[in-house]
Structure 1
């Protein structure tokens, strides 16, 4: 089962990316869609820890940076999801986590990831809009991610745990 961890994680990221860039733009709230790639990275972080999640975050972010209709400097989402994977992985516990802790971790990861993405845009001169607009985007993205947490994370975490039950949790 150990050999399936990487292909299954890659497939999860591809499905998340397709949902994020092809399906959910049709139901975007104020032009903002949920970050399914971030949710997959957080699930991996809570099951596998910071090293695996940061690596997965890099590849998920790079795919997100290069997927059309990307209109920003490549590498911004890769950086943001590496940070998210590492920070969320530090929350991993050896015991079963309560649902409130998982939701709080997703909320914190969403805030950190979207903030890193937005601040890197400001540093690179790639951002458009005022600081108020940036804060609105961060809050709407956080709300999207928290609302979808109960629908996405339990199944993904269960799948990743089944792939390698001895080292998970």
Structure 2
């Protein structure tokens, strides 16, 4: 991976891990814990593609495996996020721009459910049966709900930072969109992340009209 990808990915993963361990894990919510690490990996994989998504997922999961209070076998969560990062990278849009909010939100739900099932399945293989005592159905429902509620405020921001680090022209067209606009675009069905591009189009049209008026004033012939 490029150096800027590695630097940004490492920074975002470390920040997500610190917030998850020190804040989200202490909320004592019923069922699962909101998985900020998963959402960060999803956002990066949506921009960088499957191979980078798998590498970022593996590194993020391995870091989480060793972060206290680690109560599971090392490499278990690394395998989960590696698979999720690769599959999420396969869903990367061809032009790099998400047209609808439906597909990313469905991807978040599928990733939340899939990561919980895969984590429990790997645990069963190594003799960890904690998921049976907690209730796998309760974990699936709460993890999907919490991640879905948190996703509009995490994934679009991560994607915007990743595009800006890549010097992606899409980042310039979306630079006028703040976090609240992006979150509202995800929450509003069918609008997606087109708010920034629509505003950019309006600015371009306004600039062209001003140029046309200026040309007529200067006496330039317009056909």
Relative to the length of structure 2, the TM-score reads 0.70
SS in structure 2 at match of 1:101: helix
Count of matched residue pairs: 168
Matched, 1:63 2:63: yes
Q: Label 1:102 to 1:129 Cα distance change in 2 as closer, same or farther (>3 A).
A: closer
Q: Answer yes or no: is 1:143 the counterpart of 2:136.
A: no
Give the conservation status (yes or no) of the 8 Å contact 2:31–2:142.
no
2:12 equivalent to 1:15: no
Cα distance in 1 between the residues matched to 2:124 and 2:137: 13
CA RMSD of aligned residues (A): 2.0
Relative contact order, CA 8 A, sep 6+: which one is greater?
Answer: 1
- Cα distance per residue 1:82-116 (max 9 Å; x no partner): 01001111111123221111111111111111111
Q: Distance in 2 between matches of 1:88 and 1:167?
A: 22
Structure 1: segments with no counterpart, 5+ residues: none
Work out which of the residue numbers 103, 106, 113 in structure 2 matches 1:104: 106
What is the deviation of 1:3?
Answer: 3.1
Runs of 4+ displaced beyond 4 Å: 166-169
Distance 1:78 1:64, change over 3 A: same
- How far off its partner does 1:167 sit? 9.4
Tell me how far 1:43 sits from its aligned partner.
0.4
1:22-66 superposed Cα distances (whole Å, 9 cap, x missing partner)? 111221312521111110110011111010010000010001111
**Are the counterparts in 1 of residues 31 and 138 from structure 2 also a CA contact under 8 Å?**
no
Structure showing greater radius of gyration is: 2
Is the Cα–Cα contact under 8 Å of residues 80 and 113 in structure 1 kept in the other structure? yes
Q: Deviations over 1:104-133 (max 9, x none)?
A: 111111111111111101111112242770
> How many Å apart are 1:14 and its aligned residue?
0.4
Alpha-carbon offset, residue 160 of structure 1: 0.1
Secondary structure at the residue paired with 1:130? helix
**Which of 98, 117, 127 is the equivalent residue of 2:129?**
127
| Counterpart among 116, 139, 145 of residue 114 in structure 1 | 116
* 2:162 paired residue among 144, 147, 160: 160
Residue 84 of structure 1: aligned partner: 84
Mark the runs of 5 or more structure 2 residues left unpaired by the alignment.
172-223
- After superposition, the Cα gap between the structure-2 partners of 1:129 and 1:163, relative to the gap in structure 1 and judged at 3 Å, is closer
TM-score (norm 1): 0.92
